[in-house]
């Protein structure tokens, strides 16, 4: 490994004994013989706490490029611990504890990111009994802060993309096929879809229906089956509904209810819903309380606060005969095939909701 001179924080080592870290090091460095390795893996699978400690230790080690500097600091910690233990023996077992609180600053550089951790002033206390429990909580907080720093660094290492001309929401109706609104992607030169579960990939338009404000996208990399299914019935007045969408760069949940069974100007293809929505929600799925797809968000009434409109799921099915290829039609029929609907939850549905970034050469 090439050193890049980070000063590695050793707060996690404070809650692990040296034998445990030596065992982890031996496994990570490939120094175990086959029987030792089998026994180590067996212990990982049998002991959740042991496995959690190992994963946290491994995450910390992998976040730095210089493993040897980590070993050096760990040795210094062991020397410190032995000296403190000797001091305890000489003072009739009076417990003296020290705490290091970590202040971290993160700098984004051209080719690498480093963490510089500065050790705060060591304070001696004469605390006993229940204050030892309090100290353990403090160490746990430091560990959580370290893990947060590592996650933030990984996010900073992700690619930065040029700002899109516009942003909307789409949802996976079937493997590789995403539904969204026509108006949100019209005149697009390129489209990209992404969420927290799937990396950013390019999508292409394969079908447009301006009258119903529908667009169907194809994304080769999204070969997964969504958990939710379209609802074959019609929602009633007052039914509770919710949507998931990207009015911002993170997935947002909104809930409301069916306030009219027909949409704007009494259009029977749409529901009128009462729900707080914002630009970017267009193209988002509308779910009933069982997590079944009942429609797609298309617009809002700017004259009436909290009033929006959603295309009904049975109207989505009616597009079957106008789809561009038999293969797509067959997928459509399969997706909308009447089945015994299973219930899903917000957590189960959210991996299949995507942010759509729209790029145009000229507007």
Element (H, E) at 218: strand 214-218
Rounded to two decimals, the pTM is 0.57
pLDDT in tens, 289-347: 999 999 999 998 888 889 999 999 999 988 988 998 888 999 888 888 776 667 889 99
Residue predicted with more confidence, 84 or 34: 34
- Which DSSP category does 125 fall into? B
The pLDDT value recorded for residue 89 is 47
Quote the CA–CA distance of 286 and 260 in Å, as a whole number: 15
Domain boundaries 166-359, CATH class:
mainly beta
To the nearest 10°, the Cα dihedral for 178, 181, 187, 192?
A: -30
pLDDT in tens, 66-109: 555 555 555 665 665 566 555 544 544 444 334 343 333 434 44
Q: Where are the domains of the chain?
A: 12-157, 166-359
Q: What is the CA radius of gyration of the chain?
A: 28
Quote the CA–CA distance of 44 and 52 in Å, as a whole number: 9
Cα atoms found within 13 Å of the Cα of residue 83, Cβ hemisphere only: 7
The answer on pLDDT for 236 being more than 70 is yes
pLDDT in tens, 97-138: 343 433 334 344 433 444 433 344 344 444 444 444 333 334
Report the pLDDT averaged over residues 270-291.
94
Cα atoms found within 13 Å of the Cα of residue 28, Cβ hemisphere only: 17
The pLDDT value recorded for residue 114 is 44
């Amino acid at each position: 490994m090439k050193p890049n001179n980070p000063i590695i924080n050793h707060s996690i080592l404070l809650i692990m004994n040296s034998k445990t870290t030596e065992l982890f090091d031996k496994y990570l460095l490939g120094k175990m013989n086959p029987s030792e390795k089998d026994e180590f893996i067996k212990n990982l699978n049998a002991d959740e706490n042991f496995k959690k400690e190992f994963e946290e230790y491994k995450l910390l080690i992998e976040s730095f490029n210089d493993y040897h500097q980590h070993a050096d600091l760990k040795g210094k910690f062991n020397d410190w611990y032995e000296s403190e233990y000797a001091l305890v023996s000489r003072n009739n077992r009076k417990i003296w504890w020290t705490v290091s609180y970590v202040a971290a600053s993160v700098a984004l550089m051209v080719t690498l990111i480093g963490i510089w951790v500065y050790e705060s002033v060591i304070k001696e206390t004469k605390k006993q009994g229940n204050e030892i429990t309090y100290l353990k909580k403090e160490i746990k907080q430091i560990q959580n802060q370290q893990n947060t720093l590592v996650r933030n660094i990984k996010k900073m290492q992700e690619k930065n993309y040029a700002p899109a001309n516009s942003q909307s929401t789409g949802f996976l109706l079937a493997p590789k096929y995403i539904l969204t609104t026509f108006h949100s992607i019209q005149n697009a030169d390129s489209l990209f879809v992404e969420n927290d579960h799937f990396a950013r990939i390019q999508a292409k338009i394969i079908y447009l229906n301006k009258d119903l404000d529908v667009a169907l996208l194809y994304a080769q990399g999204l070969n997964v089956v969504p958990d939710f299914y379209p609802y074959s019935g019609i929602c009633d007045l007052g039914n509770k509904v919710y949507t998931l969408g990207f009015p911002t760069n993170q997935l947002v949940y909104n809930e409301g209810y069916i306030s009219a069974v027909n949409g704007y100007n009494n259009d029977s293809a749409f529901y009128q819903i009462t729900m707080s929505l914002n630009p970017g929600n267009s193209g988002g799925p509308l779910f009933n309380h069982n997590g079944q797809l009942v429609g797609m968000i298309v617009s809002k009434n700017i004259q009436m606060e909290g009033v929006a409109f959603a295309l009904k799921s049975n109207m989505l099915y009616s597009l079957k005969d106008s789809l561009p290829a038999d293969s797509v039609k067959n997928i459509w029929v399969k997706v909308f095939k009447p089945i015994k609907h299973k219930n899903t939850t917000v957590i189960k549905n959210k991996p299949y909701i995507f942010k759509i970034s729209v790029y145009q050469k000229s507007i």
